[in-house]
Amino acid sequence: MLREVSQKRVLPFLGQITRGLSASALPEQVQYDPQTSSVPTPQPAPFSYVPPGRNHLFVPGPVNIHERVLRAMHVPGQNHRDPWFAQFFKDCLEESKLIYGTKEATPFIFSGTGTGGWEAALCNTLSPGDKVVCFRYGLFSHLWIDMMQRLGLDVQVVDRPWGEGADENTLEDILRKDTDKKIKAVAVVHNETTTGVTSDIAGCRKAMDAVNHPALLLVDGVSSIGALEFRMDDWRVDVAVTGSQKALSLPTGLAFVAASPKALEAMKSAKLKRVYYDFADMLRTNPSGNVPYTPSLAMLYGMRESIKMLREEGMENVFARHHRLGEGARRAVEGWGLQLLCKNPRWRSDSLTVVEVPEGVDSNKIVKTAYAKYDLSLGIGLAQINGKVFRIGHLGNMNELMLVSALAGAEMAMIDAGVPIKPGSGVGKAIEYWHQTSSVIKTRESLVQ
């Protein structure tokens, strides 16, 4: 069951995918030859054309940004040393607790991305050579493990098939055998954005408790926090991480990290080198509303608005909305007669849907056609499942009618790519489900009584 799998199995795909991504994501006027150059060379645009309407952004991050958030971010340059900033920043930190479901943890906001949040989680709590257990079931869990290894941690990698999640029984078994309590941390990617799999963090905590194991529980919530149920205090997560471009529906650029009292205690003896992501510098300055380096004010304004919107909606409603969206997408896949990569319903993600395409069809062709013909951005299959699946992101600032446009676009692009699909088969299933389950917007209830 347990196997230590070398990076070689996954890494050869990374270069391929990175190159593929760079090439397809570049604006038309930039020519980029991955064989000869690592830096794109700007070329005169032969013809500039912006299609009417808007691009339909349905990758699982970066996601759509609400106009309220965009407007909140539209601010002139300001000085974060002026007196207003301290209370503003303290409020930002306090407000961020909402997304983790915590009252007890200490929140941090770094300029950076989810990857920076990973580093903060590890460097602030662990020492070189410390033993960490981590499940690997997609590109992101792989990359976090790669970071752990590069930082000098001793990682017990538990490989799982791509399309499955963390196996609590295996975890319990590993921890039971660790009688000397050598394992210092269990690291879990809550929502694996490669495969559309959500692991059960409460279940992992239960497995740890069942054998009374003192390891820290470090959780990557990059594509779950703010969209899917996340209860940091109840699950006793020690460090939780997310990035601004996911469920918070902001531009990329902030890493959100929260640390439990136990994690802050572990920090005192943690010997991994840390500089930019050192909690200690934040703990020295944040309580008085200060920051150790220049903050991104526009992002903080955006974040405050985005969390305000989540609070207005209510987190339980946010989770329910994501479930409705996810279920609608899954019904569409069923209507198309296709399969999800995630076969077991217990792990199906409500933040994205990963669709397997039939043998002989290249899913990259579907993604390219969707963009070229319908101005729809879908997610490609990553690493070893490139060409075999495509991903529909439905996390963050999203509603049913937005998602139905992606389902319609995916449907048409699949037909274009030769998938035998009846027009309307997937969209029909989704709307059949949504018209029965969607609720009236809170402030408009009186209109339909």
Q: Which residues bind ligand PLP (CB under 6 A)?
A: 61, 113-115, 140, 189, 193, 220, 222-223, 243
d(CA 252, CA 315): 22
Cβ(123)–Cβ(146) below 8 Å: no
HSE-CB for 102 with a 13 A CA cutoff: 27
**C-beta of residue 228 within 8 angstroms of C-beta of residue 198:** yes
Give the three-class secondary structure for 241: strand
Q: How far is the CB of 146 from ligand PLP (least distance, A)?
A: 12
Tell me whether residue 88 or residue 276 sits nearer to ligand PLP (CB atom): 276
Cα–Cα distance list, 115 to 18, 219, 253, 255, 404 (Å): 16, 12, 11, 8, 31
- Tell me how far, at minimum, the Cβ of 78 lies from ligand PLP, in Å: 26
CA 264/CA 238 separation, integer angstroms = 9
Of residues 187 and 333, the one with the C-beta less far from ligand PLP: 187
H or E element that contains 254: strand 254-259
Beta bridge partners of residue 377, listed in sequence order: 57
How many helices (H) and strands (E) are present in the chain, helices listed first?
15, 16
CB of 221 to ligand PLP, least distance (A): 8
Cβ–Cβ < 8 Å for 239, 125:
yes
- Shortest Cβ distance from residue 272 to ligand PLP (Å)? 19
Q: Which is nearer to ligand PLP, 243 or 328 (CB)?
A: 243
Type and span of the H or E element at 157: strand 154-159
352: enclosing H helix or E strand: strand 352-356
**Which residue's CB atom is positioned nearest to ligand PLP?**
114
CB of residue 230 vs ligand PLP: minimum separation in angstroms?
Answer: 13
At closest approach, how far in Å is the CB of 94 from ligand PLP? 23
Q: How far is the CB of 446 from ligand PLP (least distance, A)?
A: 40
| Cis before 62 (ω within 30) | yes
Nearer to ligand PLP, 116 or 426 (CB): 116
Q: 157 or 222, CB closer to ligand PLP?
A: 222
Closer residue to ligand PLP, CB minimum distance, 243 or 335: 243
* Structure-token pair, residue 169: 């029984």
Look up residue 215 and give its two tokens: 């390891």
Could you count the other beta carbons within 10 Å of the beta carbon of residue 361? Answer: 17
Report the alpha-carbon distance of residue 111 to residue 107 in Å, rounded.
Answer: 14
Distance CA 375, CA 363 (A): 17
User: Which CB sits closer to ligand PLP, 219 or 298?
Assistant: 219
β-pair type (216-220, 239-243): parallel
The residue whose two tokens read 């040393």 is 81
Residues 6+ apart with CB under 8 A from 45: 28, 29
Instruction: Work out how close the CB of 113 gets to ligand PLP at its nearest, in angstroms, rounded to a whole number.
Output: 3
Nearer to ligand PLP, 242 or 363 (CB): 242
The least CB distance from residue 434 to ligand PLP, in Å, is 26
Q: Closest distance between ligand PLP and the C-beta of residue 137, in Å?
A: 11
Quote the tokens at residue 26.
């570049």
Whichever of 115 and 149 has its CB closer to ligand PLP, that residue is 115
Which lies closer to ligand PLP via its Cβ, residue 69 or residue 412?
Answer: 69
Distance CA 440, CA 381 (A): 35
d(CA 382, CA 299): 29
Q: Give the count of beta carbons closer than 10 Å to the beta carbon of residue 245.
A: 23
Q: Shortest approach of ligand PLP to residue 22 CB, angstroms? A: 14
The smaller minimum CB distance to ligand PLP, of residues 295 and 379, is found at: 379
Minimum Å gap between C-beta 141 and ligand PLP is 8
193 vs 364 by CB, closer to ligand PLP: 193
